[in-house]
Amino acid sequence: MPAFEEHHLLEISLAFQIYGEILHAEPCKIGHINETYIATYNQGGVPVRYIHQKINTTVFKDPDGVMNNVLRVTAHLRAKLQAAGAADITRRSLTVIPTRDGRPFHRTKTGECWRTFVFIEGLRTFEAVETAKQAFEAGRAFGEFQQLLVDLPGKRLVETIPHFHNTRRRFAALQKAAAEDRCNRAASAKAEIEFALTREKITGVILDALAKKKVPERITHNDTKFNNVMLDVKTGRACCVVDLDTVMPGCALYDFGDMVRTTTSPTLEDELDLSKVKMGMPMFQALARGYLEAAGSFLTKNERALIAFSGKLITFTIGLRFLTDYLNGDTYFRVHRSGHNLDRCRTQFKLVESIERQEEAMQKFVNGL
């Protein structure tokens, strides 16, 4: 790590209620949004690790709202687990380390917002699903997460990114980006733009169901990528759901749909060989079984009826977002190569096609559970 970053992290570490000296830190290359480091401290002669993370305030414009949500949700999760007599609670929910003045995050003199979590040992994440057992565990973990938050008391959570899964707005943003073509990239994405424009009719299905109260608003994670579930390295069992910045009011179907997007294809989100991208029915079946095992007790008939469709819709929506960001000059998602967001978009749209071919069989399986 460059000397500047080490010195900066040393200053950041002093702001939090961590008693010991920081020994070293290393970047953790996860996610597209926030800047994350794993830091090791000497605490009484024992090495202890923490997560230091800089909140991306360009994306999350209300860090107070984000962290208030995170504190409420993690406190409720711990309370519910304790009431159920669960073991290993500190490995099943994130623990926020407060600053020395008791705040949930530290704001530097330059306006950076930093927060700290306890590092959970013995768990790991995977960028892509490898087995049906992992798919089952991911479904169960996010289903349980939703189930535990059904009775969260108090006022409505803050919408940390308003209209986050509003596919109509994402579609309109793509139309605008393609028409303006500020970066002269539309020609290189002509096929992808046409693919998107021919599917406008699906953009309002869940939005209309929510507006008409045919499906209920719930507290949802809203970013249920497979790598946001931490699995025990010994047992393979899902233990902790992470990346809680987008936990807010939403639709259970959006969460399940993003699980389909990231858990049923054996490829990374930016796979270049599109022949490898396909929705695997065994993975979907394992995912659905795990999810409904945990969430089936509270889902309504109308929610169940849209489960397969949700996978198609959210995959399409994320593809729209990647394509729009590509056309706008890569201003939202972090990119690591030229055309990275266009590659991501192509992967999503190829998966949409695969889901379209199997959607009827997917829903038939769900109906039988």
Tens of pLDDT, residues 191-212: 999 999 999 999 999 999 999 9
Check pLDDT > 80 for residue 33. Answer: no
Mean pLDDT of the chain: 94
Distance CA 141, CA 92 (A): 10
| The token pair that represents 343 in the structure block | 């590659």
> Which pLDDT does position 73 carry in this prediction?
98
Check pLDDT > 60 for residue 2. Answer: no
> Which pLDDT does position 59 carry in this prediction?
87
207-237 pLDDT per residue, tens: 999 999 999 999 999 999 999 999 999 999 9
Taking Cα atoms as reference points, which of 42, 72, 66, 41 lies closest to residue 54? 66
- Taking phi over 0 as left and psi of -120 to 50 as alpha, with beta for the rest, 111 belongs to left
| Average pLDDT value for residue range 301-328 | 98
Distance CA 290, CA 297 (A): 13
Check pLDDT > 60 for residue 367. Answer: yes
Distance CA 1, CA 10 (A): 13
CA torsion sign, 176 to 178 to 180 to 181? positive
Task: Give me the DSSP letters along 291-345.
Answer: HHHHHTTT--HHHHHTHHHHHHHHHHHHHHHHHHHHHTTS-SS--SSTTHHHHHH
> Which residues, 6+ apart, have CB-to-CB distance to 182 below 8 Å?
327, 328, 329
State the pTM of this model. Answer: 0.90
For the chain, what percent of residues have pLDDT higher than 70?
A: 97
Q: Are 138 and 263 in contact (CB under 8 A)?
A: yes
Domains of the chain: 3-61+96-119 (3.30.200), 132-367 (3.90.1200.10)
Confidence band for 48, pLDDT divided at 50, 70 and 90: very high
136-150 pLDDT per residue, tens: 999 999 999 999 999
Check pLDDT > 80 for residue 7. Answer: no
What 3-state DSSP class applies to 256? helix
345-360 pLDDT per residue, tens: 999 999 999 999 999 9
Higher-confidence residue of 268 and 7: namely 268
> Which pLDDT does position 34 carry in this prediction?
74
- Taking phi over 0 as left and psi of -120 to 50 as alpha, with beta for the rest, 320 belongs to alpha
Q: Are 165 and 317 in contact (CB under 8 A)?
A: yes
| Average pLDDT value for residue range 66-85 | 97
318-342 pLDDT per residue, tens: 999 999 999 999 998 889 999 999 9
> Which pLDDT does position 3 carry in this prediction?
47
Confidence band for 4, pLDDT divided at 50, 70 and 90: very low
Q: Are 240 and 81 in contact (CB under 8 A)?
A: no
151 DSSP 8-state letter: T
242-272 pLDDT per residue, tens: 999 999 999 999 999 999 999 999 888 899 9
Distances (CA, A) of 327 to 84, 292, 324: 49, 38, 5
User: Which residue has 């917002």 as its token pair?
Assistant: 113
Higher-confidence residue of 26 and 190: namely 190
87 DSSP 8-state letter: S
Neighbours of 140 (CB within 10 A): 22
